[in-house]
Amino acid sequence: MLKGPIFVAGHRGLVGSALVRKLRAAGRDDLLLRTRQELDLTDQGQVRAFFRAERPGTVLLAAAKVGGIVANSENPAPFLYENLAIEVNVIHEAWAAGVERLLFLGSSCIYPKMAPQPLKEEYLLTGPLEPTNEAYAVAKIAGLKLCEHYNRQYGVPFVSVMPTNLYGPGDNFDLRSSHVLPALIRRFDDALRSGADVVTLWGTGRPRREFLHVDDMADAALFVFEREIGPTFVNIGSGEDLPIGDLARLVAKIVGFEGTLLWDGSKPDGTPRKLLDVSRLRSLGWSPSIGLEEGITDTVRWYRAERERLLGPEGRS
């Protein structure tokens, strides 16, 4: 049982909103939720004042500046600075305020670009990172190491989990800053609406990626969080991957786009493969319940219901 009140940092994002859904479904009504306008997590003074006033018993740190390959490539400095600031402020001030439990949500991009597959937790810091998202990865590594060392030095059970590529309700569908799966949904839906019969996609379609529905991730994260795992971290994923080309064809089928897919090989592919080793998670007793086709269908349904709110009446973002 998580001690309340529970501060969900980043509750409007993909991950944070899934954690809120999970907690509310479990009957928790003692959630502390703040928008960025109400609490700027990059401002140490604001964060310190919040923790001293509210005294949360548990912190779920899902707040982050996130984006796809374009956003990461074009804006490395803000991705590094803002994520470092959020992590340092929240983790340190949580410790200083006597928070009993903290969960840090990392990312599978922390692993070296050419690490053996599947990616085991012990492969961290064994080689160079993927250059296109190095800044974000460095920030996430710093966050998990901060939790690890606070755990070792001060004995606080601050836990980190490293999710694979996530998708689902609440995702970002902006074409310049989104990840691959929501970008594919948006591209094919736009093409269907405009009557286009060709969609051109970045890269070769050959890299392989693993995907997990965000509601499964929330379930797994809280499952791990309520167990004693020591000052280390746990991968969270499905344990299965597929080529981006196959993913694109599956998304096109679900969306209803029957035109031609072209690949622009002049654009970067990113890491050739990124599959998490989830044997530690499975040994704890957790496995996913939402299949990829089911999850994409659910996400397409949510996106179409929310499209005008997300993109405006003209369908732009």
What pLDDT, on a 0 to 100 scale, did the predictor assign at position 231? Answer: 75
Q: In terms of Cα–Cα distance, which of 91, 174, 78 is closest to 135?
A: 78
298 is in an annotated binding site: no
pLDDT band at 3 (very low <50, low <70, confident <90, very high): very high
C-alpha to C-alpha distance for 43 and 124, rounded to whole angstroms: 29
Q: Residue 232 in contact with residue 121, Cβ under 8 Å?
A: yes
164 is in an annotated binding site: yes
Mean pLDDT across 74-99: 96
105 is in an annotated binding site: yes
C-alpha to C-alpha distance for 167 and 305, rounded to whole angstroms: 16
C-alpha to C-alpha distance for 163 and 106, rounded to whole angstroms: 7
pLDDT band at 229 (very low <50, low <70, confident <90, very high): confident
C-alpha to C-alpha distance for 259 and 110, rounded to whole angstroms: 36
What pLDDT, on a 0 to 100 scale, did the predictor assign at position 314? Answer: 61
The catalytic residues are 136
Tell me: pLDDT of 317 over 60.
no
Neighbour-count burial of 213, counting CB atoms closer than 10 A to its CB (0-12 exposed, 13-18 middle, 19+ buried): buried
14 is in an annotated binding site: yes
269 is in an annotated binding site: yes
What pLDDT, on a 0 to 100 scale, did the predictor assign at position 313? Answer: 67
Q: In percent, how much of the chain has pLDDT > 90?
A: 85
10 is in an annotated binding site: yes
Tell me: pLDDT of 57 over 90.
yes
Tell me: pLDDT of 90 over 60.
yes
- Lowest-pLDDT choice from 113-117, 272-276, 312-316: 312-316
C-alpha to C-alpha distance for 133 and 221, rounded to whole angstroms: 23
Look at the block and give the residue holding tokens 């960025």: 36
Q: Residue 151 in contact with residue 265, Cβ under 8 Å?
A: no
What pLDDT, on a 0 to 100 scale, did the predictor assign at position 38? Answer: 98
What pLDDT, on a 0 to 100 scale, did the predictor assign at position 193? Answer: 96
- Three-class SS of residue 280? helix
213 is in an annotated binding site: no
203 is in an annotated binding site: no
108 is in an annotated binding site: yes
More confident position, 82 or 316: 82
Selected from 3.40.50.720, 3.40.50.2300, 3.40.630.40, 1.10.10.10, the CATH number assigned to the domain covering 6-311 reads 3.40.50.720
107 is in an annotated binding site: yes
pLDDT band at 315 (very low <50, low <70, confident <90, very high): low
